[in-house]
Each structure stands twice: as structure tokens, then as C-alpha cells.
Amino acid sequence: MKKIRINTSKPYDVIIQRGGLKNAGEYISSVIKSKRTVIITDDTVGGIYGEILGKSLEKSGISYDIFTFPHGEASKNLSTLGDIFNFLCSCELTRSDFIIALGGGVTGDMAGFAAGAYLRGISFVQIPTTLLAQIDSSVGGKTAVDLPGGKNLVGLFKQPDLVICDSDTLDTLTDEIFADGMAEAIKYGMIRDKSLFELIENHNSGNIRDVIDDVVYSCIDIKRDVVENDEFERGERMILNFGHTIGHALEAHHNYTDYTHGQGVAAGMCYISRRFAPADISERLEKCVKCYGLPTDDEAGIENLLSYCSRDKKCESDNINYIVCEEIGKAQIRKSSLSEFRCLMEEKNNGR
């Protein structure tokens, strides 16, 4: 077992352990004294891991109810969130009780949002079961839901009380969902850790699983450093959005159905790097992205994606913040007007 301490405004531990799900009740009981919880999960993950988690909770004397919603980004909306609030109310959950998020990033976002808002805030535990959620969305306290106008436009910061990453849950992921997480792992290497990028670069989608525990630890360690320095995303934490400006536009353009978050981030990193990074860096990134079956481009074309950028939460008045990696392992935050950003992106990416 490995443990990483996240020293934010409310410190908490991230536990990384194969088989950790079976010990979840014990770990939770050590940090939360309540014996009452609601598990929030989707209809895929709940069927695979709900019983295992339930038995672990019962062993520790914790009673629970389960709220299940249809899997996928399309469920990450205000309607589902309202259903969650009503379910918590029907279970008579109190301020001393807690919520468990069991699943991927969509589950973690909605459960965290609910925990931050219900009764003005109750405790919650993250048990991420996808690679993307383990290395990225479960750590740092950002929660949100999507609106028709854009991704993650309504949300709040809510740090978990505990995060339990069981690497065994990654064994049941489809290749596509696993690749989703690898897009974020590549991002971490690009923005902060050249050795991590090279580790990923020197493997492929077939054998990266042999070293996935090292990848998970390295990514969480990087995010810990960034989040501790800038918990509420007023400066340095923006570098975690490398690839996300265009990535979110791709997701919105495809109505959150045809394009996964990881696919959007992968293509988004490549779009930005073709314009702002040296050719050799851009080419290495694209080669690495392709190795994991992720896209480097999209038929929509950059001109059709830029209209979504003005609705992105990274905009400030008529300006937009975006992240550039001119060398592997180092990220820069840049700001320009939306019109200038449009010209810069069209200049290099036009026709691609």
C-alpha cells in the first residue's frame, strides 16, 4: 500500500492499493465516525463493484443505500443531480453522515457536488474505478455538472475526506476507457515530468499496464504538488488544463456522446502543440498519443471548435487562458483575446 497526503485546506490521504476496495470499510472508519452512507454509482460500475464495497462497509458496521444512474457523460447534468438530492433526502441522510463516490469521473463529479451542496456540505469519500478518475478527477476537489451551453459550467470545490485507488479495478476497463486515462497521464508528463512522459512513450497500450501502479502514483504526486500550491485554480493549477480548451470544445461539438473526455484532451493537446510547440515536440506528442489509440485531430476542423471556446470556464471577460508546452515537462500559462486566440489557432491548424 502507498499513501499520498494532500495538504489542502482540508488535508486527506490518497490510498493506492491493489485489492483496497475490500478494505474500504476499515479505511473509511479510520477517518469518518458516522455509520451511515449513500453510495453513488452508475449502472455499470455498481454491478461490478457495488457488492464488494457493500460487504466491506457492513463488516465495519456501516449501513448504506445505493443511488444508481445511467453511465456516461450524458448523465452529468442538473436533472441527475436533482435526483441525487431527492434520494439523499428520502434516505434521511444527516450532516454527520457521508457520501461515497464509486466509479469514474462523472460519478465523482456528481457525488462531490452533491456532498458539497446537500445540507450545505457533508463528508464524502472518493473510490475511483477508472484510470482517469484515479490519476486526475478524484484528487483536488473540483466538482461540476454540464449545461447545454458547455462542459463543467456549474460546480464547486469540495475536497474529499479520503480517496481509495484500487488498481485491480483497472483490470475490468475496456481498452477505450483505459486509453481515456492514458490521455491524462500523457498530459501530466507533458506539463511537469519528462521521465513520466518517456515511461509512457516507451511502452504502448499493450504493456503499459505492467507499470500502471507507477504511472498512477506519479500522476497523483504531480497533482498533489500543483493543488497544494493553488487549491482554487487562481494560477499554477491552470496548467492541469493542458489540452482541455479544445478538448472540451470537441466533447461539446459531439454532444458528449461520440467523444470521450480523454479523446478530447488527447486531440486538444495536439491541436495546441501543432501551433505553439517546436515541431519535434509536437511530433513526439502525436506519436505517443497514437500509440494508445487516441485521436490527434478531428474532422470538425478547428474553425468549428473555436466557437465553443468563448463559453469555456477558462475565459475571463474577452480573454482566454490556455496552456502551452514548448518542451516536455514544462508548461506555460498564456492569455490572449478570443479573437487573437482564434487567429493563432487557425493559422497553424487550418485544413487539418
Contact call for residues 109 and 261 (beta carbons, < 8 A) = no
Q: Looking at the annotation, which residues are catalytic?
A: 120, 142, 184, 223, 233, 237, 241, 244, 248, 261
How many whole angstroms separate alpha carbon 143 and alpha carbon 111? 8
- Per 3-state DSSP, the chain is made up of helix, strand and coil in percentages (nearest 5) of 50, 20, 25
Cα 103-2-7 angle, rounded to 5 deg: 80
Residue 155, strand partner residues? 144
Contacts (Cβ under 8 Å, ≥6 apart) of 9: 159, 231
Residue 14 CA: distances (Å) to CA of 49, 189, 237, 338: 19, 20, 19, 38
Contact call for residues 32 and 182 (beta carbons, < 8 A) = no
Which of 260, 264, 262, 257 is CA-nearest to residue 309?
Answer: 264
Residue type, 234: R
How many whole angstroms separate alpha carbon 242 and alpha carbon 224? 17
Kindly state the helix (H) or strand (E) to which residue 249 belongs, with its residue range: helix 244-253
Place of cell 464509486: 102
